[in-house]
Amino acid sequence: MAKNISVTIKFWKQNGPKDKGHFDTHELKNIPDDTSFLEALDIMNEELIGEGREPFVFDHDCREGICGMCSLYINGTPHGKTERGATTCQLYMRKFKDGETITVEPWRSAGFPVIKDCMVDRNAFDKIMQAGGYTTVRTGQAQDANAILIPKEDADEAMDCASCIGCGACVAACKNGSAMLFVSSKVSQLALLPQGKVEAAKRAKAMVAKMDELGFGNCTNTRACEAVCPKCETISNIARLNREFICAKLAD
């Protein structure tokens, strides 16, 4: 049986990247605890609009943990301190205590400028992907699935890497604002497969160069990213990326 709880939402307001920004608060009363956190924010926004105020702006799309749009820093942790492997949209009000104050902030990182409130510009990730996160194939019919044999373990591991949804929580959690967990997952998902090996050296160099150019920091192995990643990507991906990168550099 769901019970109702009341909470105070302390949320970040910021009108564009240049604005200083500040916190606003709103009391949410009698919210059924099987409401998702984002639904609670929808309810809050209806109430704000009812008072003639502007709603709190945040990113969201699929609301089922697959698209990577939701991106809230909740009570000091990207995606909130829920069970491992959950996105902001998979967080429910039953995880909070009656009377609690919930603080909501944007991803704060030089690589992700604020557009408004908690909506940040994550175009940098797309630019990194464009730099090399693909394999060059000829347009046309896909070839037969069994034409290239791939060991099951490799396929599974590549799939685990590919499950990174590009949310950016790893960057938000990192004290250096490093995008290494994201980049290494995207490099690994291809490097592990025969189709990706052909351009592996070029890819690793291009993606790392783009990441540096866009103002993301370096990895110092603090593993904060791993702890918050909603898809449980591990820093062994980073080790793999470093290997790919060093091999590519040595070959130059």
Partner 1 sequence: MLPYTIQNYLADQAIWPRLSTDLPEFEATEQAVEKEIDRLMNIKGKRSVDSIHKELGHIMWEHVGMGRTKEGLEEGLKLLKALRQEFDTNLFIPGSKEGLNVELDKAIHLRDFILMGELVAYDALHREESCGGHFREEHQTEEGEAKRDDENFFYVGCWDYQGSDDKAPELVKEPLNYEIIKVQQRNYKN
Please report, as ranges, the residues that interact with ligand FES according to CB under 6 A.
60-63, 65-70, 87-89
Q: Which residues pair with 12 in a beta bridge?
A: 23
Tell me whether residue 10 or residue 63 sits nearer to ligand FES (CB atom): 63
- The 107-146 contact track toward ligand SF4, x by CB under 6 A, reads ----------------------------------------
For residue 145 the two structure tokens come to 């699935």
- The 180-209 contact track toward ligand SF4, x by CB under 6 A, reads -xx--x------------------------
Three-state SS across 150-163?
A: CCHHHHHHHHHHHC
**Which of ligand FES, partner 1, ligand SF4, none binds 166 (CB below 5-8 Å, type-dependent)?**
ligand SF4
Q: Is 229 in the site for ligand SF4 (CB under 6 A)?
A: yes
**Which of ligand FES, ligand SF4, partner 1, none binds 185 (CB below 5-8 Å, type-dependent)?**
ligand SF4
Q: Is 147 in the site for partner 1 (CB under 8 A)?
A: no
Q: Rounded distance, CA 27 to CA 47, Å?
A: 10
DSSP 8-state code for residue 138? -
Q: Rounded distance, CA 232 to CA 134, Å?
A: 22
- Shortest gap between Cβ of 43 and ligand FES (angstroms)? 17
- Crossing angle of the two packed helices 200-213 and 236-251, in degrees rounded to 10: 110
Confirm if 167 and 181 have CB atoms less than 8 A apart. Answer: no
The residue type of 5 is: I
- Report the interface residues with ligand SF4, using CB under 6 A: 164-170, 181-182, 185, 229-231, 233
